[in-house]
Chains A and B, each alone.
Chain A
């Protein structure tokens, strides 16, 4: 459980720092769509993938790079936890 919290916080902080210039005023719920909120744009997803690969030591396969896996904090955490490569 503690580990899950940790992953969530890391992802949350990465999103705030990387996409929102460290702006914590923007309300960001764990189940909110990053695309719909305009946080991740048409090219921004690569930054997230690189971060996830490096930080959690997993390989995000091309076919996994879809909004169903990575479009909200909850989805990203789930994807990392479910990843067989950990």
Chain B
């Protein structure tokens, strides 16, 4: 796991500057503190900051093929590299290392861009083909590893994080109002859009080629749902799922360093530990976030698991102060506004992992998207069921079963719940019906936008990009399949795997692996009948059945509780509110940056400070405003932060 960066000249005749490459890689050093390297010729340059996990001795990068005509800088893992390597050797390729990276070079020589079809893993890489004068960038199918790019002044600039691109060229550093419109609706910008104007993300499952100053982007993988599901019994589906999960884990356990495990207290991360033990892993080290605030704390469940699974366990106990004190640094890493503080405790958790000399952790993330764990899927199911008999008195009673972890939802009357969801029944022709209530609620926060932002958005729907990106047959899918697609293709890579995943883990040079996100597991789960995944309103039913022989009943039977952290409470519950909060929300800075209306911000701050009832919208607004202000300060106002250029960078020849 590493940081990558590079430049290719298309219409620019200037020499690539070694210093620029060094600066690009230096700012990504947190991703790869073990060693750094660069390669450059007359037309392109590649940089690499390495976190060595596989082939520690000879895997230095950038790396080339035998005749040095193809160069690669690679971030991530190809889990099936030994099998691919063996095939390539049979075809006559010679290897100078045992790394997975070198496999990609030879596979590229063999198949060109089609090499992607053979890869199982989580990766973002760039290959410079010197003879073709073509740069080839690719990103894994689910979007686990990041990759950003821009075309500026006749050159392509790319990197694992946007800050490296800002370091390399004089492109304007501006937050994109259209991205804000999306973030304050979906929680994330819709890829390839990023939070910044003119900076793009290579969407998951896509590759990019750059030649003669022309960028071409193509999708090589997508997820497809069919209304006719696979014809298989529950027992068969269960057996195949177990096989696929074990196969995914077997490959993901490949590493030349010790692997740790995140343990949330829920079913998914516990399943990863238990299945690893089934495969023979022992002396397992687990890591958890515990909260001082009981509303969020799951340590009693974590303890049950630690006792049952017999792991060596460490935890961080997260206070409001911990979240508020680390929040600005978290935004330096997320590189986008966030509407929840949940990434902050994970940022602290990866620090703990790293302090325990662990570079790789397994995570249960992805299981909820793949196997129907979230309440939004149950909500969609209930609405569909109720919609068939809108006059039914009994059907809407099921709504009470949703969101058991939200006291405010549970304590409202049945009439209110029904009236709220009744709106969605009328919108059954809406292609995004499953997410309409959620998006509408988040969108209310946009009332706080300043006139400047409103005028740029000019009433444009944040859904335009999304509508253009979804597959043609999307509208014909059942609402629940559409809901799963939206979660898997958008919220997962753009928020969960990014702000709560890669960015906060790599801030401390920790690589997360996601056994539920092997694309073969994802594809299989998209084909099994829905009621195997959600039986009635019992979420992840097939996984629960599978895991009941390995895990305590209390964990398997536990209702899904999504990972949450205290939001505005973290900033205002302390006796001493950190200075940066006053500064970020000051009249001067709110008006200077001009994203939000000061009058409304000041209303909200008063509400939060007076510790009255702070609702969902208020929490999202508070965290969203604060993170936008901090993002602007980090990247638009005070960039670059002072940092040293690393002086022992290997220059590859």
One of B420, B597, B607 near A42 (C-beta < 8 A):
B420
Residues of chain B having any CB pair with chain A under 8 Å:
406, 408-409, 411-413, 415-417, 419-421, 423, 437, 440-441, 444, 447-448, 597, 599-601, 603-604, 607, 613, 615-617, 621
Q: In the bound complex, do residue B600 and residue A46 qualify as a contact, i.e. CB atoms below 8 Å apart?
A: no
Measured in the bound complex, the distance between the Cα atoms of B597 and A25 in whole Å is: 12
**Distance from A72 Cβ to chain B, minimum over Cβ atoms (Å):** 12
Measured in the bound complex, the distance between the Cα atoms of B597 and A39 in whole Å is: 19
User: What chain B residues lie within 8 Å of A45 (beta carbons)?
Assistant: 412-413, 416
Given contacts A21-B600, A44-B617, contact A35 B415 (CB under 8 A): no
Q: In the bound complex, do residue A38 and residue B444 qualify as a contact, i.e. CB atoms below 8 Å apart?
A: yes
Q: In the bound complex, do residue B599 and residue A22 qualify as a contact, i.e. CB atoms below 8 Å apart?
A: yes
In this complex, what residue of B is CB-closest to A20? B447
Chain B CB within 8 A of A36 CB: yes
One of B412, B419, B444, B447 near A43 (C-beta < 8 A):
B412
Given contacts A23-B600, A41-B420, contact A46 B412 (CB under 8 A): yes
User: What chain B residues lie within 8 Å of A18 (beta carbons)?
Assistant: 607
Measured in the bound complex, the distance between the Cα atoms of B88 and A17 in whole Å is: 66
Q: In the bound complex, do residue A43 and residue B406 qualify as a contact, i.e. CB atoms below 8 Å apart?
A: yes
User: What chain B residues lie within 8 Å of A17 (beta carbons)?
Assistant: 603, 607
Given contacts A67-B415, A68-B415, contact A42 B409 (CB under 8 A): yes
Measured in the bound complex, the distance between the Cα atoms of B416 and A68 in whole Å is: 9
Q: In the bound complex, do residue A46 and residue B408 qualify as a contact, i.e. CB atoms below 8 Å apart?
A: yes
**Distance from A64 Cβ to chain B, minimum over Cβ atoms (Å):** 9
**Which residues from 36 to 81 on chain A have a C-beta closer than 8 Å to any C-beta of chain B?**
36, 38-39, 41-47, 50, 62-63, 65-68, 71
Q: With contacts A41-B617, A42-B412, A65-B415 known, what are 11 further pairs, Cβ within 8 A?
A: A21-B448, A35-B416, A39-B444, A41-B441, A41-B615, A42-B417, A42-B421, A43-B409, A46-B411, A65-B416, A71-B419
Chain B CB within 8 A of A3 CB: no
In this complex, what residue of A is CB-closest to B601? A21
User: What chain A residues lie within 8 Å of B603 (beta carbons)?
Assistant: 17, 21-22
**Distance from A67 Cβ to chain B, minimum over Cβ atoms (Å):** 5
Measured in the bound complex, the distance between the Cα atoms of B600 and A22 in whole Å is: 5
> 16 A-B contacts, Cβ less than 8 Å apart?
A21-B448, A35-B423, A36-B423, A41-B444, A42-B412, A42-B420, A43-B616, A44-B617, A45-B416, A46-B412, A46-B613, A50-B613, A63-B413, A65-B415, A67-B415, A68-B415
Measured in the bound complex, the distance between the Cα atoms of B416 and A66 in whole Å is: 6
Measured in the bound complex, the distance between the Cα atoms of B408 and A81 in whole Å is: 26
One of B413, B441, B599, B616 near A65 (C-beta < 8 A):
B413
User: What chain A residues lie within 8 Å of B416 (beta carbons)?
Assistant: 35, 42, 45, 65-67
User: What chain B residues lie within 8 Å of A68 (beta carbons)?
Assistant: 415
Q: In the bound complex, do residue B412 and residue A35 qualify as a contact, i.e. CB atoms below 8 Å apart?
A: no
Given contacts A35-B419, A65-B412, A68-B415, contact A41 B616 (CB under 8 A): yes
Given contacts A38-B440, A42-B416, A46-B411, contact A26 B615 (CB under 8 A): no
